Structure 1
Amino acid sequence: MKTERKIIRTETPEARPGFLGAGHMARQLVGADFTASDPFIFLMDDVLDKKDTNPSGGAHPHAGFETVSLLLEGEIGDEAYKMHSGDFQLMTAGSGVVHTETIDRPLRLRLLQLWLNLPRKNRNAAPRVQDLPLNHVPVLDKKGVHIRLYSGSLNGLTAPVHNYVPLIVADISLEAGATALLDIPAQYNTFVYMLEGAIIAGADEQLLHKKQVGWLDLFEEAAPSTLKIAAKEGKARLVLYAGAPLHEKIVAHGPFIADSADAIPGLYRQYRAGRMPHIATVPAAQRILL
């Protein structure tokens, strides 16, 4: 028998002015307590409504984790690859990499970017990037429920992305009156983020509405479980994140994640000495178009 998951914590993060300047509002969805969010380190909902041609963003380094990017609206990327609305990217920073996100023209975009921990044994993995365009995303469309699966396996779908950490990422839309039962391993730390409308979620029928994050209860033993969601009145849309906790301590400093504070200065020296490759220049085998 499958365990019925329930919502145990809801949060409504506020949007604040972001570092990209005028028109950038950033909402931090994850990042307050890693022991509770493991393996999720940090998640931002960035909305940019840029009106000028002054360059924003630019080249910057990362190491020790993976960035998981879901572009909800707009276009972003570099000379090697550009993401468009509905595209997905998983970049393994691993031993250290530089990537570029420069925006130098008027546009509107909305990006969900997650920092995902790497297992200690893979902390220094060779950098790689996996791009999954919208037209290659597995889709389930049944009885008013529309699921786009970007990572992992869910309700009979399996995404082509290769993971170091077991991870489910799904964009789910519900028509008015529609109900879905989502199959999620009970030991996966899981949360949903509401993009539109409202839902009734979980065994205790919690109400979640637009801009809210709802965290599920978590079980230690590996077993099947389900999350029931139903659209409340009109249409609803949410993003589901579920990942296997690693139960490993980390140190976060700026753009780097490490096992201990002793490793951080070496990463800065590596970057300043130009010894971190740009993701656009890594071997073709490490730039994967799915």
Structure 2
Amino acid sequence: MIEMIIEQRRRSLGGGLEVGRVLPFAKRRMVGPFIFFDHMGPIDVGAGVGRDIDVRPHPHIGLSTVTYLFAGEMMHRDSLGFTQAVRPQEVNWMTAGSGVTHSERLEKARAVGDHLHGIQAWVALPTEYEETTPAFAHYAGADLPSWRDRGVNGHLIAGNAHGLTAGARTHSPLFYLHLELETGAAAEVPTGHSERALYVAAGEIELGGQRLTAGQMAILDKQASSMRANQPSTVMVLGGEPVGERYLYWNFVSSSPDRLRQASEDWKAGRMILPGEDDQEFTPFPENARITPEPLA
């Protein structure tokens, strides 16, 4: 039922903002096209917090960023000219393609205080779309089909599942769900995809006789079919079809190590900018960054 359990690893993004990093993991780098999975918070942010807690302008290529919140608000700005707040049960979906720069700032928290809790995932683009034209979209309401059934409150964030289709444009077959389960409630795991996983953001569930608690991701085999909540729980369910080998270099994803090196040089040389930022404090390329996995000679 469960092939592997991955524990989140705490990572500081600076300024007091800490995340639980789940993917990539040394023994399991991707689930379908999902190559990155960060659990943000939960964290209470007091009014007047400094700007060092913001995620400063940084670049991406070859992927889509998917920001989804359970609580709080983040403000997105990008080099395409989009400014868009994301709030609970909404999605900011940015397709980086050939290259885009964006920032994510806690402007509401700075003004009045906030309670932040959510997930940011990266979806690797198929090879034929790696250099697609960058794009941004915001999805809410009917774009994210929802349902209630015997103690389960579900939201379809992306893809197709349970006979529903979400509004987000995806570039490969996938699904991404947010489930809120009452104690004792059972939920089916979508089938029809070769790779699937679930992540417990809060609470405790049971699947195939194994308990999973907050901060754990279970990689599922083809037989895994349903879960049951031992207490009120928040669960993300995800999966899809593999898109092939992908290399990761800082914030860049590509099937080509040479393309990653080119992107890093473009960033260092200032050729990927985000106009309209009032501080222009772009995130520096880390000196210790390396391409993973190491490309074969």
Give the TM-score range, shorter chain: 0.7 to 0.9
5 Å-filtered alignment, 1:101-180, equals 101-104=104-107, 105=110, 106-134=113-141, 136-180=143-187
CA distance in structure 1 between the aligned counterparts of 2:226 and 2:253, rounded to whole angstroms: 35
Q: 1:43 to 1:111 in 2, by over 3 A?
A: same
2:93 maps to what in 1? 90
Is the CA contact (8 Å cut-off) linking 2:144 and 2:158 kept in structure 1? no
Aligned amino acid, residue 64 of structure 1: G
2:229 maps to what in 1? 231
Q: 1:208 to 1:112 in 2, by over 3 A?
A: same
In the alignment, structure 1 residue 29 sits paired with structure 2 residue 22: yes
User: Alpha-carbon deviation of 1:215?
Assistant: 1.0
Aligned amino acid, residue 206 of structure 1: Q
Secondary structure class of the residue paired with 1:26: strand
CA distance in structure 1 between the aligned counterparts of 2:69 and 2:275, rounded to whole angstroms: 19
Is the CA contact (8 Å cut-off) linking 1:155 and 1:182 kept in structure 2? no
CA distance in structure 2 between the aligned counterparts of 1:169 and 1:32, rounded to whole angstroms: 19
1:221 maps to what in 2? none
User: Alpha-carbon deviation of 1:229?
Assistant: 1.3
Q: 1:243 to 1:260 in 2, by over 3 A?
A: same
* Structure 1 stretch displaced more, 72-81 or 46-55: 46-55
In the alignment, structure 1 residue 70 sits paired with structure 2 residue 76: no
Task: Give the one of 64, 80, 84 matched to 1:81.
Answer: 84
User: Alpha-carbon deviation of 1:30?
Assistant: 1.1
* Structure 1 stretch displaced more, 64-73 or 102-111: 102-111
User: Alpha-carbon deviation of 1:53?
Assistant: 3.3
User: Alpha-carbon deviation of 1:163?
Assistant: 0.6
User: Alpha-carbon deviation of 1:136?
Assistant: 4.2
In the alignment, structure 1 residue 254 sits paired with structure 2 residue 254: no
User: Alpha-carbon deviation of 1:262?
Assistant: 1.5
Q: 1:235 to 1:90 in 2, by over 3 A?
A: same
* Structure 1 stretch displaced more, 262-271 or 137-146: 262-271
2:215 maps to what in 1? 211
Q: Structure 2-normalised TM-score?
A: 0.80
Secondary structure class of the residue paired with 1:265: helix
CA distance in structure 2 between the aligned counterparts of 1:132 and 1:20, rounded to whole angstroms: 28
Is the CA contact (8 Å cut-off) linking 2:205 and 2:213 kept in structure 1? yes
Is the CA contact (8 Å cut-off) linking 1:99 and 1:279 kept in structure 2? no
Q: Structure 1-normalised TM-score?
A: 0.81
Is the CA contact (8 Å cut-off) linking 1:167 and 1:242 kept in structure 2? yes
Considering only aligned residues, what root-mean-square deviation do their CA atoms show, in Å?
2.4
Aligned amino acid, residue 251 of structure 1: Y
User: Alpha-carbon deviation of 1:226?
Assistant: 6.2
1:12 maps to what in 2? 7
Q: Which runs of 5+ in 2 are unaligned?
A: 78-82, 277-297
Count of equivalent residues: 262
1:199 maps to what in 2? 205
1:286 maps to what in 2? none
Is the CA contact (8 Å cut-off) linking 2:60 and 2:101 kept in structure 1? yes
User: Alpha-carbon deviation of 1:260?
Assistant: 2.1
Secondary structure class of the residue paired with 1:264: helix
In the alignment, structure 1 residue 50 sits paired with structure 2 residue 45: yes
Secondary structure class of the residue paired with 1:237: strand
